[in-house]
Structure 1
Amino acid sequence: MNAGDRLPPLEIPITRTLIVAGAIASRDYQDVHHDPELARQKGSPDIFMNILTTNGLVGRYITDHFGPRAQLRRVAIRLGAPNRPGDTMVLTGTVEEVDGDTATVRIVGANGLGDHVTGTVTVRVPAGAGDGLSTGAGGDSV
């Protein structure tokens, strides 16, 4: 892994099931994540993904690329455009810095409305954890 390396994109179809399941799994019972009518009453055209689901998808993107021994040390993300049912989020990443076995990766997850998530992930890849090549992240979908 070297500064400037680009991770292959990962396309994630944003389904109603993914949004609701992610909210339930993270115990986020806010109605805007599962009830379209109540989401509309609160000003959103439909339900939308919560930050914990997004955080999990970002972590998956990194570990899919760097391998099962990769250790997430820090995840710092910010949400922008909402992920709504029927859209696709495309995650991309660029290695910004490498210090020994630790890298900082700039992450962007874009959908039809713009950038859903931006941020950085610090990941440690222990020696012998693989060559840092993608193990299936590119082009796969959820």
Structure 2
Amino acid sequence: MTLMKTMQFNDINVGDKLPEKAIPITVALISNGALATRDFFPGHHDKDAAIALGSPHIFMNILTTNGLVQSYVEGWSGPQSRLKNIDIKLGMPNYPGDVMTFMGEVTATDATTRTVDVGLAGKNKYGMHVTGTVQLVLP
């Protein structure tokens, strides 16, 4: 078993890039994410209903996207980091069969509070699905 290392504030610099991470978008990810977040809107789990709304397939809800954003940043920062804020904006939908690729960069640091801001984006074949900033505290 490999123990995950936590990033240390003193090792972080503005401009540091996070490794890209590709997330396969599946029916299960979309529908289970919606149900887990108690979002019963039919466009997130019923293909016929989504098509009736003008969508080619079911589409991901913002709470699932939010969870993927958190997982991406915390996967980079490590288990002893502490999330302070997530501020995201949705763009193009995520549909089954696509891949969303996350990319991120450290955009600001504050030595007094040991806070790090990470600007990020998640892109699929249609364009940007999500953009935003995550703020966390590192040891």
TM-score (norm 2): 0.89
Residue ranges of structure 2 left out of the alignment (5+ in a row): 1-11
Residue ranges of structure 1 left out of the alignment (5+ in a row): 127-142
Aligned counterpart in structure 1 of residue 122 of structure 2, from 106, 109, 115? 109
1:71 deviates by: 1.0
Aligned counterpart in structure 1 of residue 53 of structure 2, from 35, 42, 55? 42
Distance 2:110 2:32 in 1: 37
Distance 1:89 1:125 in 2: 27
Matches for 1:1-142 after TM superposition, within 5 Å: 1-100=12-111, 101-126=114-139
1:69 deviates by: 1.1
CA deviations 1:74-125 (Å, max 9, x no partner) are 1000000000000000001000001122111101000000000000010111
TM-score (norm 1): 0.87
2:22 counterpart letter in structure 1: E
1:72 deviates by: 1.0
1:70 deviates by: 1.1
Distance 1:40 1:8 in 2: 35
CA deviations 1:33-63 (Å, max 9, x no partner) are 0001100101111100000000000000111
